[in-house]
């Protein structure tokens, strides 16, 4: 029976889950795949943590050089996170002739071109299923099962922290700040939540996924990004009354006009499959020209779900001798002929705090009309009993992003009795 040795870099949440799965299911893999996958080495600065996980003292490495020079190690699993020292460690492993499996979306998004170049040069594999959507096997599906399609769009809820926060704000009416504190206390959000709540994490993942979908290099710097920290429970409540649910969406589209890639909060109709994806679950909704619409759903993070994705890549690597790489020219920047659409189309939810007097709504709609924006719905609300001001909620028909920005700026400048309180895109 073929024996394959694995080294794990980092035994934190994800690394610990990976170690548990690999060691606990070893016999299963021998029976099902005729391969004996053995954890031969672990690089972890916290030795007590490693020993508590069951790692033998003799398998604890002191540095990356020990792993790279170990002839028993065939595959290196990187679960450290961040750019350094992860990047240096992964490049060292690849250049030592070891295949690499990583869960590091920031590293792969920013430096995947360098890692892939080293993998190609050394004729080894580079696997990254666990970088996107935790245990949901969307990357393997795109590379294998859906490759007969031209993928035209991908819309995803791909960050569990923000989805948990928005679910709690929607269901309980709590403020963003209060729910964030709760998420941090439960371990769903980091002490510094910037990467999640400001959309960076989702942007890294969309860069990876849209590149595979559209067979083009999509640098994260070309993706429009907007976070959730400015969302108000007031707007979430009005959205519910209008039949919408708020989500942080990662959206990618490919058409004759170019590639459209953006991450931002958006109202989703309650009838859409993504509307029912709650808490820390993730989902990716993909449209192909042959298959139509398909959706992948599951846990987007955590020790065991992400470990499941890593181990899937380990088994794939262990049972395949031919390694595949990107189907596009994987360079740092997009190809010169790639056109990015920034003035995209959307419907919009607009909330204004306006003086409660005749003609104010007409002034607002007149300015919107000046920029070619037509209104689909209007709600006027002064339920709080205020006699001087009223909330005016407008939902537009589809229009251009640039038109909305110009119209909102003009309303803020020209109407002294009207304040722009919220602008949220509607899917």
CB 296 within 8 A of CB 91: no
| Separation in Å, CA 95 to CA 5, 102, 299, 355 | 17, 16, 33, 67
Find all residues with CB under 8 Å of 231, minimum gap 6, and list them.
Answer: 166, 169, 176, 246, 265, 424
CB 287 within 8 A of CB 104: no
C-alpha–C-alpha distance, residues 43 and 23, integer Å:
16
Catalytic residue chosen out of the listed positions 105, 205, 247, 299? 205
Give helix 105-121 / helix 200-214 axis angle, nearest 10°. Answer: 40
| Of the candidates 250, 249, 247, 248, the residue with the CA atom closest to the CA atom of residue 210 | 250
In this structure, what token pair is assigned to residue 222?
A: 């070309």
| Of the candidates 148, 146, 186, 390, the residue with the CA atom closest to the CA atom of residue 301 | 186
DSSP 142: I
87 counts as catalytic: no
C-alpha–C-alpha distance, residues 288 and 192, integer Å:
37
C-alpha–C-alpha distance, residues 150 and 111, integer Å:
26
Q: What is the DSSP string of 248-282?
A: EEEEEEEETTEEEEEEEEEEEETTSGGGG--TTEE
DSSP 144: I
**Location of structure tokens 């890549």:** 313
In this structure, what token pair is assigned to residue 285?
A: 């909704």
The CB density around residue 427, as the number of other CB atoms within 10 Å, is 16
C-alpha–C-alpha distance, residues 207 and 105, integer Å:
10
In this structure, what token pair is assigned to residue 213?
A: 């979908």
HEC profile for 65-96?
A: HHHHCCCCCCEEEECCCCCCCHHHHHHHHHHC
* Beta strands 126-127; 99-102: pairing state: parallel
CB 100 within 8 A of CB 76: yes
Q: List the beta bridge partners of residue 416.
A: none
| Of the candidates 405, 380, 410, the residue with the CA atom closest to the CA atom of residue 394 | 380
Active-site residue list: 205
């Amino acid at each position: 029976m073929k024996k394959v040795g694995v080294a794990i870099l980092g035994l934190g949440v994800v690394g610990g889950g990976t170690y548990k799965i690999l060691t606990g299911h070893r016999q299963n893999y021998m029976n099902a795949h005729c391969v004996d996958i053995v954890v031969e080495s672990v690089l972890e600065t916290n030795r007590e943590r490693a020993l508590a996980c069951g790692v033998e003292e003799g398998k604890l490495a002191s540095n990356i050089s020990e792993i790279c020079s170990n002839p028993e190690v065939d595959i290196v699993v990187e679960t450290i996170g961040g750019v350094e020292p992860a990047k240096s460690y992964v490049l060292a492993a690849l250049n030592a002739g070891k295949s690499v499996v990583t869960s590091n979306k920031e590293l792969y998004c920013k430096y995947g071109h360098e890692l892939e170049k080293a993998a190609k040069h050394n004729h080894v594999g580079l696997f990254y299923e666990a970088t996107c959507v935790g245990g949901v096997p969307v990357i393997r599906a795109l590379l294998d099962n859906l490759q007969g399609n031209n993928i035209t769009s991908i819309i995803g809820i791909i960050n569990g922290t923000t989805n948990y926060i928005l679910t709690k704000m929607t269901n309980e009416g709590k403020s963003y700040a209060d729910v964030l504190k709760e998420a941090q206390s439960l371990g769903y959000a980091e002490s510094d939540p910037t990467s999640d709540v400001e959309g960076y994490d989702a942007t890294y993942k969309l860069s990876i996924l849209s590149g595979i979908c559209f067979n083009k290099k999509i640098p994260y710097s070309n993706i429009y990004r907007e976070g959730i920290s400015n969302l108000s429970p007031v707007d979430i409540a009005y959205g519910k009354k209008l039949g919408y649910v708020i989500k942080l969406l990662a959206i990618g589209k490919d058409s004759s006009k170019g590639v459209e890639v953006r991450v931002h909060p958006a109202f989703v109709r309650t009838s859409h499959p993504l509307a029912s994806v709650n808490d820390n679950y993730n989902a990716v909704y993909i449209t192909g020209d042959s298959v139509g619409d398909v959706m992948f759903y599951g846990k987007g993070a955590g020790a065991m779900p992400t470990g499941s994705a890593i181990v899937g890549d380990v088994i794939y690597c262990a049972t395949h001798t031919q390694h595949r790489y990107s189907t596009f020219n994987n360079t740092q920047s997009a190809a010169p002929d790639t056109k990015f659409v920034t003035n995209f189309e959307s419907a919009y939810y607009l909330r204004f705090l306006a003086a409660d007097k005749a003609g104010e709504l007409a002034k607002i709609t007149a300015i919107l009309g000046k920029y070619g924006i037509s209104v689909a719905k209007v709600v006027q609300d002064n339920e709080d009993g205020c006699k001087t001001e009223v909330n005016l909620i407008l939902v537009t028909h589809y229009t251009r992003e640039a038109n909305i920005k110009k119209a909102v700026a003009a309303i803020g400048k020209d109407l002294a009795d009207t304040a722009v309180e919220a602008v949220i895109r509607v899917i």
